[in-house]
């Protein structure tokens, strides 16, 4: 990166990431259909991810494309950022030049589908980093944005492969190359997600959720197998191990036992009935419970919560716990917003200002609206209480604080007179809280009643078992006859 007081070189015209490079990436992505199917060992896949081998991004893309829980969690995280209001703020609201610079930057961004650009940039959370190429028009002596094009991560490294990825951006000739050619960084936006040890490939969430996703998809496979082989596993014994025809007949009979409702077999054939009974007695709920546990693990890792994604976890949950989970998601969203703000201001806004206004221009700031909405019901209760204590509250204060229109004839400087006949705000709030508590209390009573019923049933069963056990002991007791 250039120093703050230096103007970076004007970027070259046109695109560096050519259609041919995109074609090579597209060819490499055809392997996605072979990804997990071609490599059965999850340990081998994990090692490739850890080493950041050329197949790493293919595995990441397959995770997002084929696991709906993974895709939904990542989309939820991205949408929590994209739905926020954003603006370009001048360095000094009172300075006309600062306002002009901010307006120029805003017009540059408004001329693009910047919302879609941010959507692509936020892929950094899932994939560790994202790369966008800036295409400028420099024909008029200024640098004007024409487009911001998303680029496949497979085409870039930050050092030779298998070496620390801490250097400048380099572009590969193909996704399978081990080294590439340096490219001008001022032509690209690079966002790294939670860099550690200066590594610019970041900490991809798709790598973090690989194991729960793999377990979930494999237990789903076992679940489907269980559904297919509901009759159980048939084992038919045969006498001559070297007789291929006899062995094949045994296999055919076993398959017929599983698939058919009526079969004809020799009079002397033998099969294992216990395996059929064991399979039939297996509770399929064990697959469902494990599947859901892995779903929760994926969502917790990406969003830090489950209640707002699944309603409740395991059929339990409370309003307080739901609020806590929502706060956790909000914190992660805010941190991602701040990281995105920093990248856009350093790599895009700053360059536009330096190229078009010089190093002395006041630097505007592109930012999200991260201010928390005020709880107006609590504010109203406080204002009402202060007014009851004698604090004078003006009409203008109410209009501004509660975003209410000024009625005809009202003067903002007039002092409001309390309405003694109006219900107390504090009492209304307490009434609402009491209603909520009453609802919770009723639910608690119902749950306690269920627990009492269960304990009573267990007590009755225990008494019956104890009576039977005492009777067994008494029957086995040998009376001792004294001489």
pLDDT tens-digit map of 18-28: 787 777 777 66
pLDDT tens-digit map of 445-478: 666 776 666 666 666 666 666 666 666 666 655 5
Question: Is 148 in the same domain as 179?
Answer: yes
pLDDT tens-digit map of 168-187: 999 999 888 999 999 999 99
DSSP characters over 376-397: HHHHHHHHHHHHHTT---BHHH
Residue 224 maps to a domain = no
- pLDDT of 443 over the 80 cut: no
Question: Is 354 in the same domain as 392?
Answer: no
Query: Cβ distance 157 to 165 under 8 Å?
Result: yes
Question: Is 63 in the same domain as 82?
Answer: yes
Residue 466 maps to a domain = no
Residue 290 maps to a domain = no
Quote the pLDDT of residue 109: 97
pLDDT tens-digit map of 344-400: 999 999 999 999 999 999 999 999 998 876 667 777 778 787 777 788 889 888 888
423: three-class secondary structure by DSSP: coil
Residues whose CB falls within 8 Å of the CB of residue 255, separated by 6 or more in sequence, listed in order: 234
329: three-class secondary structure by DSSP: helix
Angle at 75 between CA 82 and CA 155, to 5 degrees: 90
Structural domain of 409? 376-422
Residue 449 maps to a domain = no
Question: HSE-up of 9 (CA within 13 Å, CB side)?
Answer: 7
pLDDT mean across residues, the chain: 80
In whole angstroms, what is the distance from residue 338 CA to residue 102 CA?
19
- pLDDT of 80 over the 80 cut: yes
Residue 315 maps to a domain = no
pLDDT tens-digit map of 296-353: 999 999 998 755 555 555 545 555 555 666 778 889 999 999 999 999 999 999 999 9
Question: Is 383 in the same domain as 352?
Answer: no
Question: Is 93 in the same domain as 124?
Answer: yes
**Angle, nearest 10°, between helix axes 56-66 and 210-228?**
50
Residue 467 maps to a domain = no
Which residue carries 């054939």 as its tokens? Answer: 269
Question: Is 398 in the same domain as 359?
Answer: no
Confidence label for 437 from pLDDT (cuts 50, 70 and 90) = very low
Give the single-character DSSP code of 480.
P
Residue 393 maps to a domain = yes
| Nearest Cα to Cα of residue 12 among 143, 101, 108 | 143
Neighbours of 213 (CB within 10 A): 24
State pTM to two decimals.
0.71
Question: Is 363 in the same domain as 384?
Answer: no
User: Which of 400-436 are b and which e, b meaning 16 or more Cβ less than 10 Å from the residue's Cβ?
Assistant: eeeeeeeeeeeeeeeeeeeeeeeeebeeeeeeeeeee
In whole angstroms, what is the distance from residue 304 CA to residue 325 CA?
7
Confidence label for 30 from pLDDT (cuts 50, 70 and 90) = low
Question: Is 23 in the same domain as 73?
Answer: yes
Mean pLDDT of the 211-216 span: 93
| Nearest Cα to Cα of residue 70 among 325, 295, 224 | 295
Question: Is 335 in the same domain as 393?
Answer: no
* Residue where one domain finishes, among candidates 336, 368, 400: 368
Residue 452 maps to a domain = no
Confidence label for 1 from pLDDT (cuts 50, 70 and 90) = very low
Q: How many residues are listed for the chain in this entry?
A: 483
The residue ranking higher by pLDDT, 13 or 59, is 59
Mean pLDDT of the 161-170 span: 95
Angle at 456 between CA 455 and CA 457, to 5 degrees: 90
For residues 119, 124, 129, 130, the Cα torsion angle rounded to the nearest 10 degrees is -10
Total domains present in the chain? 2
- pLDDT of 279 over the 60 cut: no
Q: Kindly provide the residue ranges of all beta strands, DSSP E only, lying in 357-453, ordered along the sequence.
A: 365-368
Quote the pLDDT of residue 284: 74
Quote the pLDDT of residue 470: 61
């Amino acid at each position: 990166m250039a120093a703050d007081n230096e103007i970076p070189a004007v970027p070259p015209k046109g695109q560096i990431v050519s259609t041919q490079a995109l074609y090579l990436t597209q060819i490499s992505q055809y392997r996605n259909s072979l990804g997990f199917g071609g490599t059965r060992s999850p340990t081998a896949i994990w090692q490739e991810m850890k080493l950041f081998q050329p197949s790493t991004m293919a595995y990441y893309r397959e995770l997002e494309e084929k696991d709906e829980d993974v895709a939904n969690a990542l989309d939820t995280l991205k949408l929590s950022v994209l739905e926020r209001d954003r603006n370009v703020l001048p360095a000094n609201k009172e300075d006309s030049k600062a306002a002009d610079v901010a307006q120029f930057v805003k017009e540059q961004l408004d001329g693009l589908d910047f919302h879609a650009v941010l959507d692509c940039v936020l892929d950094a959370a899932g994939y560790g980093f994202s790369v966008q190429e800036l295409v400028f028009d420099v024909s008029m002596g200024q640098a004007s944005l024409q487009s911001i094009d998303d680029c496949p991560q497979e085409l870039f490294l930050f050092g030779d492969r298998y070496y620390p990825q801490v250097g400048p951006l380099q572009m590969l000739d193909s996704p399978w190359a081990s080294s590439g050619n340096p490219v001008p960084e001022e032509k690209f936006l690079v966002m790294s997600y939670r860099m550690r040890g200066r590594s610019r490939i970041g900490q991809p969430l798709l790598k973090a959720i690989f194991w729960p996703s793999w377990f979930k998809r494999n237990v789903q496979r076992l679940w489907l197998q269980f559904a297919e082989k509901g009759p159980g596993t048939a084992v038919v014994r045969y006498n001559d191990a070297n007789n291929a025809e006899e062995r094949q007949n045994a296999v055919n009979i076993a398959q017929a036992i599983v698939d058919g409702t009526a079969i004809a077999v020799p009079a002397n054939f033998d099969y294992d009935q216990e395996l059929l009974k064991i399979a039939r007695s297996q509770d399929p709920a064990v697959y469902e419970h494990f599947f859901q546990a892995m779903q929760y693990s994926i969502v917790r890792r990406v969003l830090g919560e489950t209640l707002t994604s699944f309603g409740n976890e395991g059929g339990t949950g409370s309003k307080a716990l739901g609020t806590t989970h929502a706060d956790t998601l909000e914190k992660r969203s805010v941190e991602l917003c701040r990281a995105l703000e920093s990248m856009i201001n350093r790599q895009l806004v700053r360059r536009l200002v330096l190229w078009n206004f010089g190093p002395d221009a006041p630097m505007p700031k592109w930012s999200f609206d991260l201010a928390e909405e005020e709880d107006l019901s609590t504010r109203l209760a406080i204002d009402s209480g202060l007014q009851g204590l004698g604090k004078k509250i003006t009409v203008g204060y109410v209009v501004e604080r509660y975003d209410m229109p000024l009625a005809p004839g009202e003067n903002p400087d007039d002092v409001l007179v309390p309405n003694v006949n109006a219900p107390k705000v504090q009492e209304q709030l307490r009434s609402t809280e009491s209603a909520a508590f009453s609802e919770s209390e009723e639910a608690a009573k119902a749950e306690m009643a269920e627990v009492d019923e269960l304990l009573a049933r267990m007590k009755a069963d225990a008494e019956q078992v104890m009576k039977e056990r005492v009777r067994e002991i008494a029957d086995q007791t040998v009376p001792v006859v004294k001489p």
